[in-house]
Amino acid sequence: MILYATQSHRELDTFLDGLSKPTLKALFTDLLTVYFNDKNSSKLRELTTLYVAGYEPENTKLGYNGYKLDVATGSKVYCEVKPQNVSSVLQGKIRKLNGGGSFNDYTPERFKKDIENNPIVLCSGFIDGQLIYVFEFEFRCLENRLRHLIEKKFGNRGREKGEYIRSASFSINDYFNCDSFEVIYIRPDYANFSKFIHRSLLSVLKSYAKP
């Protein structure tokens, strides 16, 4: 890491050429483990979710994480990724995947934009960086839940500058029965992780998992 940041690419290449294959594999695995479980960044979890669901990363400033082209119209279909990650390393009470997610720093203005655009929401779950599931549904499935949170926070008054909902959370119950709900991916050996999966989510996984 220090070599990459402080030396030339030629010196880095020379160093890497001198490493054995097992050492390189161990180094690469360690890096993936660190960044997939980084509590301050969900970038790798977002990218994994996008690619598994068939979307490309969106690099513009539209506020959405990814897109794919609608074959019929040729237009972009945007999506918002909500990955959840839990650790099997016990630190007090066991934290479990529950199929939920949240919109951080959420505002009425963003809610209005999302209602108009109705992007796809990709909700995914990881345990120790291992992908367990990817669900897909339209944003409108969360409209009632988010509207409730916005009305609770702001009422009928206008939003003051710098004011927002820090974490506008939702649960699997808010979207599971929506007609646009689809299961994109379920890890074949998800049952091995059942200790860290909430009962309600486990029931959904059992219903949709292939025999």
The predicted structure's pLDDT at residue 100: 95
Residue type, 148: H
What is the distance in angstroms between the CA of the first residue and the CA of the last residue of the chain?
A: 44
Considering only residues 135 and 39, tell me which one the structure prediction assigns the higher pLDDT: 135
Considering only residues 93 and 75, tell me which one the structure prediction assigns the higher pLDDT: 75
pTM, rounded to two decimals? 0.84
The predicted structure's pLDDT at residue 92: 66
Domains of the chain: 1-36 (no CATH), 40-208 (3.40.210)
Per-residue pLDDT at 34 exceeds 70: no
Q: If pLDDT is split at 50, 70 and 90, which confidence band does 124 have?
A: very high
Mean of all residue pLDDT scores within the chain? 85
Q: Where are the beta strands (DSSP E) in 56-116?
A: 56-57, 66-69, 76-86, 101-106
Q: If pLDDT is split at 50, 70 and 90, which confidence band does 89 have?
A: confident
CB burial class (10 A; 0-12, 13-18, 19+) of residue 95? middle
The predicted structure's pLDDT at residue 35: 47
Which residues lie across from 66 on neighbouring strands? 57, 79
Indicate the pairing of strand 182-186 with strand 130-138: antiparallel
The predicted structure's pLDDT at residue 147: 94
Considering only residues 126 and 92, tell me which one the structure prediction assigns the higher pLDDT: 126
**Cβ 99 vs Cβ 125: under 8 Å:** yes
pLDDT digits (tens, 9 = 90+) for 70-82: 888 888 999 999 9
pLDDT digits (tens, 9 = 90+) for 54-68: 999 887 655 799 999
Tokens of 112: 């209005």
pLDDT digits (tens, 9 = 90+) for 186-199: 999 999 999 999 99
Per-residue pLDDT at 91 exceeds 60: yes
Q: For 63, left (φ over 0), alpha (ψ -120 to 50), or beta? A: left
